[in-house]
Amino acid sequence: MRAAATAQDDLLAQARRLATEITGLRRAIHAEPELGLQTPRTRDKIRLALGHLPIRWREGPSTTGLVGVLQGRAPNSRSGRRVLLRGDMDALPMPEDTGLPFASTIPNTMHACGHDAHVAMLAGAAELLAARADRWSGEVLLMFQPGEEGWHGARFMLDDGLLGSAEAGTLPDAAFALHVMPNAPHGLVGGRAGALLASADMLDITVQGAGGHASMPHQTRDPVPVACEIVTALQTLVTRQFDAHDPVVVTIARIEAGTTHNVIADVARLKGTMRSLSPAHRARLHEAVTRLATGIAAAHDMAAEVTITNGFPVTLCDPRAVDLGERVTRDLLGAEAFRRLDAPIMGAEDFAYVLDLVPGAMFFLGFAPQGEDWTQCCGIHSPRMMLDESVMPRGAALLAGLAERFLAEGF
């Protein structure tokens, strides 16, 4: 990938000249998707694509994540600012059903969340920033991160010190990321200050009873009605104990108990997810759910064991970073290209770990084909999810523009 810079060239035009390279990298990654924290082939493709650039690379040890450091060379400027741009690298364990010529060649593995495009757009941004390095000063950290789909890849990379450390004051000053939205209007950028995405924690409840003959329940302690009571009481808890303006979601997605018609089970097991949009409500929800389940079980002379497995925290966007994103988008892509989202999305994203420590924002970028009814397009995590690749240069230009603008102006 090579970007030629001329003095009066604008970022978007430069990005468009990289379209073939950006698309090529995306397709190569799409055809060979990898899961989890170890994505070595994806890492190698990134290193190969950007091998000619003056990037210092940091790697390992916990994941195949990469941080590339690019240095600005603008004369007469002493910005010591550091800005991070992030692209995630991993795919999902699911079969692909797109029929694309570059569809996945790995069974049951698909880039259905668009992380292949995130990598390619970030590589494109690296190319643009390197070609324009005499226009900016400071440092850009290119964070290529595996293990977003539930693997806490961002947390591992932070723990490995690849992004610097809070104690030493070496973390970046701002952080930005994009996420593709295949079922949002072509080229539209969306963002919001505050909570953008929810925290997502796993809930496991085991109600311990004592089984026996189904015709003589008084000689048993039947965990099934108790489990059912917990399921319905959880919904009452959600609506009666939590402010509707700072909502939480609890879903019991699986109930498991018993074997046949006439045997009362020893145990009933519930599995579900808990979502919240503020750290305070997340903590309260954990306490309240535990109290409710153990309390209901105790009322029926049984015991409930509640296990909460923390997923990603709430993704909180800094208002200043969202404002900067709005300005950059309007300048680059036109006044109509940015939209403030009315409400957060209850999905979760591990960029939240970065935004916990570094002020910044994630933006959604619409990838529906131009002129098509975007509401009919398959969303992320669909086996038929497709992206209009002509949007990718815009994403690369947007990332580069965010970095340049932050390094020049700060928040």
| Contact footprint for Zn ion (CB under 5 A) | 113
Minimum CB distance to Zn ion, residue 398 (Å): 17
In this complex, which beta carbon is closest to Zn ion, that of residue 113 or of residue 337? Answer: 113
Q: Return the number of the residue (133 or 181) whose C-beta is nearest Zn ion.
A: 181
Cβ contact 238:249 at 8 Å:
yes
Rounded (10°) CA dihedral 115, 119, 122, 123: -160
Choose between 296 and 365: whose C-beta lies nearer to Zn ion: 365
Q: CA 82 to CA 45: how far, in whole Å?
A: 25
Least distance in angstroms from the C-beta of 114 to Zn ion: 6
* Of 37 and 113, CB closest to Zn ion: 113
Question: Which two structure tokens, joined as six digits, stand for 239?
Answer: 């609506």
319-333 and 392-409 helices, crossing angle to 10°: 120
Q: What does the DSSP 8-state code read for residue 221?
A: B
Residue among 113 and 205 whose Cβ is closer to Zn ion? 113
Nearest residue to 85 via CA among 141, 46, 161: 141
> Minimum distance between the CB of residue 168 and Zn ion, rounded to whole angstroms?
30
User: What tokens appear for 196 in the block?
Assistant: 């953008």
Which residue, chain included where needed, has tokens 């402010």?
243
Q: Rounded to the nearest whole angstrom, what is the least distance from the CB of residue 302 to Zn ion in the complex?
A: 38
Distance CA 14, CA 219 (A): 77
CB of 367 to Zn ion, least distance (A): 12
Comparing every residue's Cβ against Zn ion, the nearest one is 113
Contact 144, 66 (CB under 8 A): yes
For residues 291, 296, 302, 303, the Cα torsion angle rounded to the nearest 10 degrees is -20
Nearer to Zn ion, 113 or 387 (CB): 113
CA distance 143 to 358: 13
How near is the Cβ of 118 to Zn ion at its closest, in Å? Answer: 7
Q: Residue 330: CB partners within 8 Å, gap ≥ 6?
A: 337, 338
Q: How far is the CB of 359 from Zn ion (least distance, A)?
A: 21
**154 or 321: whose CB is closer to Zn ion?**
154
For residues 88 and 318, which CB has a smaller minimum distance to Zn ion in the complex?
88
**Do strands 82-88 and 267-276 pair parallel, antiparallel, or not at all (unpaired)?**
unpaired
- In the three-class reduction of DSSP (H, G, I as helix; E, B as strand; rest coil), residue 224 is classed as helix
Supply the minimum distance, in Å, between the C-beta of residue 310 and Zn ion: 18
Give whichever of 90 and 326 is closer to Zn ion, judged by the CB atom.
Answer: 90
Contact by Cβ (8 Å): 344, 195:
yes
Alpha helices in 144-278 (DSSP H): 153-159, 223-241
Q: Nearer to Zn ion by C-beta: 113 or 200?
A: 113
409, exposed or middle or buried, with CB in 10 Å at 0-12, 13-18, 19+?
A: exposed
110: three-class secondary structure by DSSP: strand
- Decide whether 135 or 152 has the Cβ nearer to Zn ion: 152
How would DSSP label each residue in 18-57?
Answer: THHHHHHHHHHHHHS---TT--HHHHHHHHHHTTTS--EE
Query: Which tokens belong to 245?
Result: 């303006």
> How far is the C-alpha of 38 from the C-alpha of 40, rounded, in Å?
6
Looking at the chain, how many residues does it have?
Answer: 411
Nearest distance, CB of residue 43 and Zn ion, angstroms: 18
Query: Minimum distance between the CB of residue 381 and Zn ion, rounded to whole angstroms?
Result: 6
